[in-house]
Amino acid sequence: MSEVIVVTSGKGGVGKTTTSANVGTGLAEMGKSVVLIDADIGLRNLDVVMGLENRIVYNLVDVIEGNCRLKQALIKDKRHAGLFLMPAAQTRDKNCITPGQMVKLIDSLRDQFDYIILDCPAGIEQGFQNAIAGADHAIVVTTPEVSAIRDADRIIGLLEANEIKKVDLVLNRLRQDLVRRGEMMTVDDVLDILGLPLLGVVPDDENVVIATNQGEPLVGKSSDAGQAFFNICKRLEGKEVPFKDFGKSSTIWSRFSGLFKKSLQEERA
Amino acid sequence: MSIFSVFKRKTSSQIAKDRLKILLISDRVNCSPEMMELIKNDIAQVISKYMKIDASTMEIQISKTGSLAGNGKKMPVLYANIPILDLRN
């Protein structure tokens, strides 16, 4: 029986697609069979992040409308034998499918894959409802910013209302240097506010930009973000991986001395 | 800048946290600022029947510091700060 995971966030641009691509690739690297479904109809991007944009013939809407067989819309990954992508339609809009159709589609994939991962569109409208309809488990991605956390909180409420019981948090794009200076919320601050179990913390890492440029997920590579995404995959597989210390808000002394320096600088200015 | 303001200064992460806490309470209870204004006016009207109050400076807000509810989470409470001008009717 497969596990159906939806990757969602509410706010756009916090790293849903990057997380979907890396978690899917990481699980495939661990020998699991995985299908990534791009549920962002009209604004598909998972194909680009995976580097598979040139191989698309059929898409999710074609399958639902019966224009092709299920197998024809599944694109095999370049590097991993057990990894497939089902792209979204680019020239249609979110209202052309219903949550019921998504549930049916997912059910037809369940016996072939260990993991079905859905990349949810931003927002809370029809596209979101479609993406979460067949999910057993949700990963909420957020960044340590007021706007992203506010939207994540709203999404968590909607997931609860839709009876998705298992909801985990991925905190993306954390900057340790800012956390240490007290200019970015800590992991504990965010957990305290959102009250979700933590699945992973991904540090802000330029290698993510480079990997996206190349269309090659960086999970498992030696970079900080690559390791963080791989740890998320291990935790999904039930392994206990300790969390790295991502910088507590600084000690009282360093905070005071830091502020003192800052005020001196301001006085000079 | 005096030495005192150095110690009083909040970090921006603390400011973000404080703002979020207040923001999420009103988001979660689904209570718009307009509705808060209506509640405030109604409370002012009722209290005014019994004592003279300063409705122009009164404040109400929903905060999360209430007692524990059944599910272990803190229940939100409605705080009202109503200046009384004259206790006699």
- Is B2 inside a domain boundary? no
CA–CA distances in Å: residue A182 to residues A60, A132, A174, A194, A221: 45, 36, 13, 19, 30
Query: Chain A residues with CB inside 8 Å of B16's CB?
Result: 145-146, 185
Residue-level pLDDT at A247: 66
Average pLDDT over residues A70-75: 96
Please give the residue of chain B at the shortest CA–CA distance from A191.
Answer: B17
- Whether A118 and A7 have beta carbons less than 8 Å apart is answered as yes
Structural domains in chain A, CATH included, are: 3-268 (3.40.50.300)
- Is B7 inside a domain boundary? no
- Is B58 inside a domain boundary? yes
Residue-level pLDDT at A123: 95
- Whether A153 and B24 have beta carbons less than 8 Å apart is answered as yes
Average pLDDT value over all residues in chain A: 92
3-state secondary structure B38-85: HHHHHHHHHHHCCCEECCCCCEEEEECCCCECCCCCECCEEEEECCEE
Per-residue pLDDT tens over the stretch B34-83: 888 889 999 999 999 999 999 888 888 776 555 665 555 567 778 889 99
Residue-level pLDDT at A7: 98
Q: Which residue has the higher pLDDT, B12 or B25?
A: B12
- Is B77 inside a domain boundary? yes
For residue B61, the enclosing domain spans 32-89
- Is B19 inside a domain boundary? no
CA–CA min distance A131, chain B (Å): 23
- Is B72 inside a domain boundary? yes
- Is B59 inside a domain boundary? yes
Residue-level pLDDT at A269: 46
The size of the A-B interface in CB pairs under 8 A is 53
Average pLDDT over residues A131-156: 97
Please give the residue of chain B at the shortest CA–CA distance from A179.
Answer: B13
- Is B74 inside a domain boundary? yes
Task: Give the number of domains in chain B.
Answer: 1
**How sure is the predictor about B1, in pLDDT bands with cuts at 50, 70 and 90?**
very low
ipTM above 0.85, yes or no: no
Rounded-to-integer distance, Cα A116 and Cα A41, Å: 17
Per-residue pLDDT tens over the stretch A78-130: 999 999 999 999 999 888 999 999 999 999 999 999 999 999 999 999 999 99
